[in-house]
């Protein structure tokens, strides 16, 4: 037995799920107590360590999320929007810290987390890395300093398995740029141009998406004006950075009250 806080990983078989399990297992601050997969998945009923091709861990993969959550203090969730909303209700019932790294969530999805946040600590971010969250803050400040003579384009690249575009990180950066300019992103957003689109509208924030190979994550924020360009860039070469950030967020949330938080809270980067 251990007194360390217990962690459940949802979506255990996925790339991030397996990285999270590895990160939690190697940590001396928490312990793995559960791994969740969808009903019918061939990992259900198997030891998660053996399912990952390694030694037995003593943790059996289950499709009963509520039972798993009841044994834990933390749930780390990098799955899909519909699954995350269902997990949020169960995490609220169990009163556990719910760390959400799921991407592709709409404004409506995010709003739907609000009832759960009245009962549980939710830390949600489109990207859990320290570097990206610093980039978000820099983007907001540069956008605030430059006028609309500078076009803003967020350019992101990911592996060919990624199913959502723009990425959650790209949207974080677009929101930061819009906030810096004092506008709503929804009013100035341009996505995936194709065909005869006409000239770019002044003040708009564009998104360009690349999918290929095994790219972990690359994000550029381009500020382009006649005669000069500024490029802010973050390159991720190992998805372990996201797992480490999620674990940092989980541990941070253990002594926090119910509510909705993000990585800027965790890292102390919120504007005063």
The structural domains of the chain, with segments of one domain joined by +, span: 6-124+239-266, 130-236
User: Does 3.30.360.10 match the CATH number of domain 130-236?
Assistant: yes
pLDDT digits 0-9 by tens, 227-272: 999 999 999 999 899 999 999 999 999 999 999 999 989 998 876 5
Q: Which of 119, 162, 204, 256 is catalytic?
A: 162
Residue 7: closest CA among 93, 96, 105, 78: 96
Q: If pLDDT is split at 50, 70 and 90, which confidence band does 183 have?
A: very high
217-225 and 151-158: which strand pairing?
antiparallel
Query: 49, 60 in Cβ contact below 8 A?
Result: no
Q: If pLDDT is split at 50, 70 and 90, which confidence band does 1 have?
A: low
Structure letter (DSSP) for residue 4: S
- Distance between alpha carbon 169 and the CA centroid of its chain, in Å? 8
Q: If pLDDT is split at 50, 70 and 90, which confidence band does 91 have?
A: very high
Query: 87, 109 in Cβ contact below 8 A?
Result: no
Q: Is 248 a catalytic residue?
A: no
Residues in Cβ contact with 195 at an 8 Å cutoff, skipping those fewer than 6 apart:
none
Q: Is the pLDDT of residue 81 over 70?
A: yes
**Mean of the pLDDT values across residues 132-148?**
96
Q: Is 158 a catalytic residue?
A: yes
Structure letter (DSSP) for residue 201: P
**Mean of the pLDDT values across residues 124-130?**
90
CA angle 63, 69, 75 (to 5 degrees): 100
Fold of 6-124+239-266: Rossmann fold (3.40.50)
Provide φ and ψ at 224, rounded to 5°: -120, 125
Q: Is the pLDDT of residue 216 over 70?
A: yes
Q: Is the pLDDT of residue 143 over 70?
A: yes
Q: Which of 98, 158, 234, 248 is catalytic?
A: 158
Q: Is the pLDDT of residue 2 over 80?
A: no
The pLDDT value recorded for residue 271 is: 64
């Amino acid at each position: 037995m251990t007194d360390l806080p217990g962690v459940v990983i949802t979506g255990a078989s996925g790339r991030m799920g397996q990285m999270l399990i590895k990160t939690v297992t190697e940590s001396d601050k928490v312990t793995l107590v559960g791994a969740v997969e969808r009903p019918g998945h061939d990992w259900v009923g198997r030891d998660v360590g053996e399912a990952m091709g390694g030694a037995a861990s003593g943790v059996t993969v289950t499709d009963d999320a509520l039972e798993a959550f009841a044994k834990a203090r933390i749930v780390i969730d990098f799955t899909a929007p519909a699954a995350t909303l269902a997990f949020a209700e169960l995490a609220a019932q169990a009163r556990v810290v719910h760390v959400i790294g799921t991407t592709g969530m709409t404004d409506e999805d995010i709003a739907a987390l609000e009832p759960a946040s009245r009962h549980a600590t939710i830390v949600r971010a489109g990207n859990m890395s320290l570097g990206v969250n610093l980039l978000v803050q820099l983007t907001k400040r540069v956008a605030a300093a430059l006028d609309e003579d500078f076009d803003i384009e967020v350019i992101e690249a990911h592996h060919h398995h990624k199913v959502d575009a723009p990425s959650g990180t790209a949207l974080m950066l677009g929101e930061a740029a819009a906030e810096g300019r004092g506008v709503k992103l929804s009013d100035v957003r341009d996505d995936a141009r194709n065909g005869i689109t006409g000239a770019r509208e002044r003040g708009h924030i564009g998104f360009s998406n690349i999918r290929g190979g095994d790219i972990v994550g690359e994000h550029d924020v381009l500020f382009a004006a006649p005669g000069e360009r500024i490029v802010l860039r973050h390159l991720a070469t190992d998805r372990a950075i996201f797992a480490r950030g999620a674990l940092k967020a989980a541990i941070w949330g253990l002594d926090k009250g119910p509510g909705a938080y993000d990585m800027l809270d965790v890292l102390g980067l919120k504007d005063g």
